[in-house]
């Protein structure tokens, strides 16, 4: 959804630094720099592989290796007290999925890793082989919305030790009822849940959004692309809360809460990729984009 990102952030590119909080391969950063010759972008990513991609961009750009939940600390070190825009393109990147050694894919054999970066306190092997049945089932239900969470957790515990992603995918598939194997890969939700648990993705998202919105200057814009309902729910609720003004009862003659909206929603409903983009990049089919602009309030 690069074209939508550029159009939404274009009005604020000349106002100051725009943060690409999930630099990845740098595609969005390059598009933003090309859209406005006065644009300046600070790229952030916790994945060590992103630094190699960043090395190829030499003008109006800086890169810092960090988790976006540390955005406030990064900007403080850079002497930046406000930003003109921020982009969060969430989830796992195509590069991470395509490299079996990263352990993100159920289609490729690799180690049980799934860490977005070396700062993660544990890898997937510690979760799969170390968590008890109840804790594992709770994670699969909470982060994967997996209806067969307890059934899968029982199978995983019985199969320990599980050494790689291919072994885990087989254990999960074998644990699923036959009817649940007919729609997509049966391990998809389990792998999503494990990845979120390993990287504390939802906690990082909530923290990162709060920091970005707090440091966004009036007229600055935030764009977030999420890929599943758990992420999108956090984004939707945070933007809706920021766009809410007075909450006093309607029959109160004078506002007593003193609350004013800090945001103006730019997307009333989440934007979705068009059919042409989904055809060219099937992984984009679940993308949902939301955006908001900081008001002067």
The predicted-structure confidence for 45-72, as pLDDT tens digits, reads as follows 999 889 988 998 989 999 999 999 999 9
Structure tokens belonging to residue 240 = 């809706």
pLDDT at 180: 75
- DSSP code for 257: S
- Which residue ranges make up each domain of the chain? 2-94+201-294, 121-199
HEC assignment per residue over 34-103: HHCCCCEEEEEECCHHHHHHHCCCCCCEEEEECCHHHHHHHHHHHCCCCEEEEEEECCCCHHHHHCHHHC
pLDDT in tens, 126-170: 999 999 999 999 999 999 999 999 999 999 999 999 999 999 999
**CB-based burial, 136-167: b 16+ in 10 Å, e otherwise:** bbbbbbebbebebbbbbbebbbebeebebbbe
Q: Identical fold at 2-94+201-294 and 121-199?
A: no
Topology of domain 2-94+201-294, CATH: Rossmann fold (3.40.50)
Sheet containing 40-45: give its strands across.
61-65, 40-45, 17-20, 83-89, 216-226, 288-294, 263-265
Beta bridge pairs of residue 83: 216
Average pLDDT, the chain: 92
Q: What is the pTM of this model?
A: 0.91
| Alpha helices per DSSP H over the chain | 2-9, 27-35, 48-54, 71-78, 94-98, 124-130, 133-144, 149-159, 165-175, 188-199, 201-215, 229-242, 275-280
CATH number, domain 121-199, options 1.10.3720.10, 1.10.10.10, 1.10.150.170, 3.40.50.2300 = 1.10.150.170
Cβ proximity of 91 and 231 under 8 Å: yes
Structure tokens belonging to residue 54 = 């960043």
Cβ proximity of 191 and 106 under 8 Å: yes
């Amino acid at each position: 959804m690069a074209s939508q990102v550029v159009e939404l952030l274009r009005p604020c590119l000349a106002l100051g630094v725009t943060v690409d909080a999930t630099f990845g391969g740098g595609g969005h950063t390059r598009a933003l720099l090309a859209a406005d010759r006065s644009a300046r972008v600070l790229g952030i990513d916790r994945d060590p592989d992103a630094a190699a991609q960043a090395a190829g961009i030499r003008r109006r750009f800086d890169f810092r290796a960090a988790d976006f939940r540390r955005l406030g600390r990064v900007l403080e070190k850079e002497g930046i007290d406000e930003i003109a825009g921020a982009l969060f393109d969430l989830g796992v990147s195509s590069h991470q999925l395509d490299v079996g050694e990263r352990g993100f894919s159920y289609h490729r054999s690799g180690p049980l890793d799934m860490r977005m970066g070396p700062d993660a306190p544990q890898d997937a092997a510690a979760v799969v082989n170390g968590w008890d049945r109840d804790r594992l089932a709770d994670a699969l239900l909470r982060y994967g919305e997996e209806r067969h969470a307890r059934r899968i957790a029982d199978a995983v515990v019985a199969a320990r030790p599980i050494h790689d992603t291919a072994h885990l995918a087989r254990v999960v598939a074998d644990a699923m009822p036959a009817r649940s194997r007919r729609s997509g890969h049966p391990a998809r939700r389990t792998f999503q849940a494990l990845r979120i648990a390993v990287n504390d993705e939802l906690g990082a998202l909530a923290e990162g959004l709060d920091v970005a919105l707090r440091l966004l200057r009036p007229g600055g814009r935030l764009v977030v692309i999420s890929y599943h309902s758990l992420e999108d729910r956090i984004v939707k609720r945070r933007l809706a809360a920021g766009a809410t003004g007075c909450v006093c009862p309607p029959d109160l003659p004078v506002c007593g809460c003193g609350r004013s909206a800090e945001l103006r929603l730019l997307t009333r409903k989440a934007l979705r990729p068009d059919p042409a983009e989904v055809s060219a990049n099937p992984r984009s089919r679940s993308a949902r984009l939301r955006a908001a602009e900081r008001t002067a309030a």
